[in-house]
Amino acid sequence: MNASAASDAVRDYDVIVIGAGPVGENVAERARAAGLSSVIVERELLGGECSFWACEPSKALLRPVVARADALRVPGLRKAVAGPLDVDAVLAHRDKMASYWKDESQVDWLDSVDVDLIRGHGRLDGPRRVAVHTEDGDVVRLAARHAVVLSTGTSAALPRIPGLDTVRAWSSREATSAEQAPSRLAVVGGGVVAVEMATAWQALGSQVTLLVREDRLLQRMEPFVGELVADGLREAGVDIRYATSVASLRRADGEVRIDLANGRELAADEILLATGRAPRTADVGLETVGLTPGDWLAVDDTFRVTAVPDGWLYAVGDVNGRALLTHQGKYQARIAGAVIGARAKGEPVDDSRWGAHIATADSTAVPQVVFTVPEVAAVGLTTQEAERTGRRVDVVDYDIGRVAGAHQYGEGYRGKARMLVDPDRGTVVGVTFVGPGTGELLHAATIAIAGEVPLERLWHAVPAFPTISEVWLRLLETYRG
């Protein structure tokens, strides 16, 4: 039910969740399924960043771009798809995928699982207490018998650039919800948001200039990833400038004037700052429980906030900084909900029930897909991470274009696979794929790593012919020599 009306009385619930993105919704639902009364507090749209400004709309923008790139390689299709994208149709589909920025269906779902909703700005108000400031100026006061869960996510971390407040810069929100393609778009950053939005808007009609402070794209991934993605962006017409920083900004005559640290100037119609994320904890009442506003929230492997005594405060999803991905946040939510339910019943929390009470994937098997041309899929360690942590690994590389299934994708397939093997245990600890269709290979890699499947067993996982999943067999053959 919608519990938005104000009251002087304190309302008691077993579990209070602040933040109704996919993560908060999952925690509240899991706690309710465990028999606990639950309420969720949200000041914006139910469904959060992922549903309205990130995962759903961004992939709706990118899917036509990737599909056309795939079709252009297939004999018999090239002429049919050689023209520009229907931008109006792409944006209309994006709007549909973002539910037209309305959350009625999410409200209906919350009602169906018997979780209460209070719309407003929720803040901690001391141990186990939350005060919700509603839009009409009322304050609803809540008390939790067992747990308060912060799932407030992150927002764009904007750099301190002189003149930033004068140019109305885009963050990821504006980049995924814009109503038309700017003629010239400057993108600052070299990470996932930067390369995905450069891919999308270049294909939708913008001339994109990518300003990258580092010397390559996607720094946290294998070096060949950034190289192949950069090749794809350049082929699409993106101007990539490495070792380039922004010194100052100003808007004049309707355009953004960008002064670069190297003394040059660049003009654009819009500028997107894709420079990282910051936790949304500046105004959630952390100071009332001895924490510092604006900080990431350190948690244990059951998602209890370690700095708060008595174990009643949990932080789930991006706000804890462990793995800033929606699917990882939902994984955390499932664990946290199970943990809260078990502790409320006095049950021990250990690795029973398939390990449902202890998070392990955040450190060993975090899968991620980057929806560029070519596509990127990675899980587990990279070579750099292994070197930095002193982990001994064997590196196995294979050209995916040599696999028979790659030829079915058309002419000129370019891609690479890397598998990292722990030679002592004989298990896979990291996999990276780059190339068309590789996102669908990722779950097999995740299972191999999370399940610690021995290489001798992987030999008996037979890939279908002719698919690019046959790259697994080629990697194993290459490793065996």
Q: Average pLDDT for residues 356-375, to the nearest whole number?
A: 91
Strand partners, 155: 278
| pLDDT tier, 265 (very low <50, low <70, confident <90, very high otherwise) | very high
Residue with tokens 């955390």, as numbered in its chain: 332
Query: Among residues 222, 228, 229, 226, which one has the least CA distance to residue 383?
Result: 222
Q: How far apart are CA 469 and CA 400, in angstroms?
A: 9
Dump pLDDT digits (tens) for 301-344. Answer: 999 999 999 999 999 999 999 999 999 999 999 999 999 999 99
- In the chain, the domains with their CATH numbers are 11-51+98-155+278-362 (3.50.50.60), 164-275 (3.50.50.60), 374-480 (3.30.390.30)
Q: Please indicate, yes or no, whether the overall pTM of this predicted structure exceeds 0.85.
A: yes
Q: How far is CA 365 from the centre of its chain?
A: 15
Q: Average pLDDT for residues 90-115, to the nearest whole number?
A: 96
Q: How far apart are CA 34 and CA 93, in angstroms?
A: 37
Query: Among residues 132, 159, 112, which one has the least CA distance to residue 13?
Result: 132
318's tokens: 């991006």
| pLDDT tier, 354 (very low <50, low <70, confident <90, very high otherwise) | low
Per-chain mean pLDDT for the chain: 95
Query: Among residues 367, 63, 415, 60, which one has the least CA distance to residue 229?
Result: 415
CB 160 within 8 A of CB 173: no
- CA torsion, points 36, 37, 41, 44, in degrees to nearest 10? 80
Query: Among residues 450, 448, 480, which one has the least CA distance to residue 463?
Result: 448
Radius of gyration for the chain, computed over Cα atoms and rounded to the nearest angstrom: 24
| pLDDT tier, 351 (very low <50, low <70, confident <90, very high otherwise) | low
- Secondary structure of residue 14 in the 3-state scheme: strand
Query: Among residues 457, 307, 38, 310, which one has the least CA distance to residue 444?
Result: 457
Q: How far apart are CA 51 and CA 57, in angstroms?
A: 7
Dump pLDDT digits (tens) for 207-264. Answer: 999 999 999 999 999 999 999 999 999 999 999 999 999 999 999 999 999 999 999 9
| pLDDT tier, 5 (very low <50, low <70, confident <90, very high otherwise) | very low
Query: Among residues 424, 183, 171, 150, which one has the least CA distance to residue 273?
Result: 171
Buried b (16+ CB within 10 A) or exposed e, 434-473: bbbbbbebbebbbebbbeebebeebeeeebeeebbbbbbb
